[in-house]
């Protein structure tokens, strides 16, 4: 044998030995895998006998593997399935390589039936069929359980849909559901009634098939908005063709989304609010009619009041002249009788003169209030010493006070100095307060004090009149400054007077830029405090740095800018500038919106000029319930009161006077 033949023989022997080792290894590995697997695995020979079977498959039939080896498969098959299994085996070996699937009932060793689903494939070279099985009984049970659960879920869904449908049918509104293509999936009975069609005629159709032409655009527009926004859309809309004529609906449309987040359907609910809108329109019309009537009657009343006031103001000379003649002639007759030494008619003349003086005093009060209301009361400003004016007032009022056996006490601060105001009007105010204190106090004490006070760099004179008289109940204090009002109606007969003294005093104080405050307790007396600026600031005066007419909204911005520039020149801090700008805006807008126009005055007073005042004045009808507004208990229409509340809180000083002849508001801000 040649060396080449020897080498080839050696390589052949080595190859054969390697193949045997590989097959042995593969066989042992397969056996271990077969034994360890939980799957039901077995092999069949051409006669249908078990050639190999793993423990799991044997256990499924109640045996161990050794008991099944060599046994025929059909001997363990249920009698009713044997024919099918035998035919299947024949077909399987006729078509090697094809996977065959069978579901067979086997008989367990204990006699019960075991259902197995198995797949087999034939290896023609080996002459074996390899099969893998699974427990079909458990799967069948699971499938039947799944079918039962599915049926129960379907019934629950059907019942839920029925309940939802019944609920929607009883809602007095249009309810519908459309798919993404616009076809109706559901409509309720209310919609059926409006359309005049049965539900079966509508479902699966689009708006163009079922809606009146006049309503199609409204539905399409609303649903387009839902798709574009991807969210709920609420709108009031008028729909034509649904029911009788045009109807107003409050419509809510929203998307229904699929599991992937895309819009799968659109739901709409539209409530007929035609009746409510009609009622609202009627109510608005009624309110407007009432407002017009109230405005007309108010204007007529104001015209009548204004005409009355102007008449009385013009008739002052004609009314006073006859009384002055009566008083003058009574004095002449009295002097003549005293010269002749006769007393026959002297007592009667004294009564005539006393009655005339009383009547003149009443007429003077009525004429004064009429002149104030008519805007014909003028302010005459001059410089005067406070102490000198007080001496004149005390000299006049002391006899009236001591007439009722009252003790009188006067206290004047040395620092009161002088005032620049209207002395006649201040004197009239003080005489009214002192005469009231003496009139309503018997065997008591009346105190009159005067002091000077600096507030935000501005000087104020405080005149305080206190008494120990009858006092006033708290609930009546707010009524003191009403025309012709007296706390006790019998006091007119007991004490005399018209009830105009305090009204005139308050109006004069406001004209002079001040205010009057009162505190009292029944049986313990009263205290009235007159607060007046030491320097009355007149429009156009030297203390006024800025004076602007505010007639429209554009004037509000102009006033704000001008005031900021002025206060910047005065050295205002940034925070103060912001406060001033806000106050200017609020007060000026109040003039524009609610007074039909007014004037804004800005200036600085005091030697150091560290404070600026902002004054807004109008000649309207005043602000109703101003005390309630400033207390936060009431806000006028359009938020009118909020501006006043904000101004009062921002300002370092705040004063407000309002009445039938207009409103005067002043705020002070420290620079």
**For residues 424, 428, 434 and 435, what is the CA-based torsion angle, rounded to 10 degrees?**
140
What was the pLDDT predicted at 467?
92
Residue 483: exposed, middle, or buried by beta-carbon count in 10 A (0-12, 13-18, 19+)?
Answer: middle
Mean pLDDT of 428-444: 88
More confident residue, 245 or 103: 103
Weakest-pLDDT range from 96-105, 320-329, 416-425: 320-329
Confidence tier at 522 by pLDDT (50, 70, 90): confident
Classified as helix, coil or strand, 189 is helix
119-159 pLDDT, tens per residue? Answer: 888 888 888 888 888 877 666 666 677 777 878 878 887 78
| pLDDT single digits (tens) 538-576 | 655 556 677 788 888 788 888 888 888 778 777 778 878
Give which of 225, 220, 218 is closest to 250, Cα–Cα.
218
Q: How confident is the model at residue 310 (pLDDT cuts 50, 70, 90)?
A: low
Q: What is the pLDDT of residues 73-95, one digit of tens each?
A: 888 888 888 888 888 888 888 88
Measured CA to CA, the distance from residue 188 to residue 203 in angstroms comes to: 11
* Residue 523 pLDDT class (50, 70, 90 cuts): confident
Which phi and psi angles does 333 have, rounded to 5°? -65, -40
Residue 384 has pLDDT above 80, yes or no: yes
Per-residue model confidence (pLDDT) at position 493:
46
Q: With left for phi above 0 and alpha for psi between -120 and 50, is residue 127 left, alpha or beta?
A: left
């Amino acid at each position: 044998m040649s060396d080449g033949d020897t080498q080839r023989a050696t390589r052949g022997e080595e190859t054969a030995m390697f193949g045997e080792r590989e097959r042995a290894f593969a066989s042992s590995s397969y056996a271990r895998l077969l034994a360890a697997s939980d799957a039901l695995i077995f092999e069949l020979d051409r006669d249908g006998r078990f050639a190999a079977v793993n423990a799991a498959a044997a256990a499924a039939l109640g045996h161990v593997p050794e008991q099944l080896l060599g046994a025929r498969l059909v001997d363990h098959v249920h009698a009713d399935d044997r024919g099918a299994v035998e035919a299947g085996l024949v077909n399987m070996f006729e078509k090697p390589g094809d996977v065959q699937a069978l579901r067979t009932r086997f008989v367990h060793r204990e006699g019960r039936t075991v259902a197995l689903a198995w797949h087999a494939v034939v290896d023609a070279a080996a002459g074996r069929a390899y099969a893998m099985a699974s427990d079909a009984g458990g799967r069948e049970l699971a499938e039947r359980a799944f079918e039962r659960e599915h049926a129960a879920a379907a019934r629950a869904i059907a019942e839920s849909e029925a309940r939802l449908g019944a609920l929607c049918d009883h809602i007095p509104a249009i309810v519908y559901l459309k798919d993404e293509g616009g076809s109706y999936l559901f409509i309720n009975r209310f919609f059926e009634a409006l359309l005049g069609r049965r539900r079966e005629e509508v479902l699966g159709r689009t708006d163009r098939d079922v809606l009146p032409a006049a309503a199609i655009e409204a539905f399409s527009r609303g649903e387009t908005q839902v798709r574009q926004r991807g969210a709920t859309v609420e709108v009031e809309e008028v729909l034509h063709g649904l029911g009788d004529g045009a109807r107003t609906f409050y419509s809510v449309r929203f998307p229904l989304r699929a599991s992937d987040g895309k819009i799968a359907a659109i739901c709409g609910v539209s409530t007929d609010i035609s009746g409510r809108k009609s009622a609202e329109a009627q109510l608005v019309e009624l309110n407007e009619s009432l407002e017009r009537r109230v405005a007309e009657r108010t204007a007529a009343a104001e015209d009548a009041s204004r005409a009355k006031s102007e008449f009385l103001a013009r008739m002052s000379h004609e009314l006073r002249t006859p009384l002055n003649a009566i008083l003058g002639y009574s004095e002449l007759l009295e002097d003549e009788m005293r010269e002749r030494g006769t007393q026959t008619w002297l007592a009667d003349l004294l009564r005539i003169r006393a009655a005339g003086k009383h009547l003149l005093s009443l007429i003077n009060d009525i004429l004064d209030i009429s002149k104030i209301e008519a805007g014909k009361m003028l302010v005459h400003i001059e410089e005067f010493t406070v102490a000198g004016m007080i001496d004149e007032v005390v000299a006049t009022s002391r006899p009236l006070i001591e007439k009722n056996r009252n003790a009188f006490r006067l206290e004047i601060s040395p620092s009161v100095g002088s005032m620049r105001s209207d002395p006649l009007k201040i004197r009239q105010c003080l005489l009214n307060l002192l005469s009231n204190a003496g009139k309503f106090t018997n065997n008591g004490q009346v105190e009159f004090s005067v002091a000077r006070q600096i507030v935000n760099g501005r000087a104020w004179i405080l005149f305080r009149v206190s008494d120990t008289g009858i006092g006033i109940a708290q609930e009546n204090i707010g009524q003191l400054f009403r025309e012709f009002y007296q706390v006790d109606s019998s006091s007119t007969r007991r004490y005399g007077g018209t009830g105009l003294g305090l009204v005139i005093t308050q109006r004069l104080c406001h004209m002079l830029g001040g205010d009057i405050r009162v505190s009292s307790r029944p049986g313990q007396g009263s205290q009235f405090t007159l607060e007046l600026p030491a320097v009355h600031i007149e429009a156009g005066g030297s203390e006024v740095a800025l004076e602007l007419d505010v007639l429209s909204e554009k004037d509000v911005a102009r006033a704000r800018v001008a005031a900021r520039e002025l206060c910047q020149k005065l050295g205002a801090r940034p925070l103060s500038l912001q406060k001033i700008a806000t106050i200017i805006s609020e007060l000026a807008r109040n003039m524009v919106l609610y007074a039909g126009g007014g004037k804004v005055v800005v200036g600085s007073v005091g030697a150091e000029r560290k404070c600026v005042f902002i004054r807004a004045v109008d000649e309207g009808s005043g602000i109703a319930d101003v005390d309630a507004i400033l207390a936060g208990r009431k806000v006028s229409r359009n938020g009118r009161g909020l501006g006043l509340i904000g101004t009062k809180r921002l300002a370092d000083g705040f004063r407000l006077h309002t009445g039938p002849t207009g409103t005067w508001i002043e705020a002070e801000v420290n620079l």
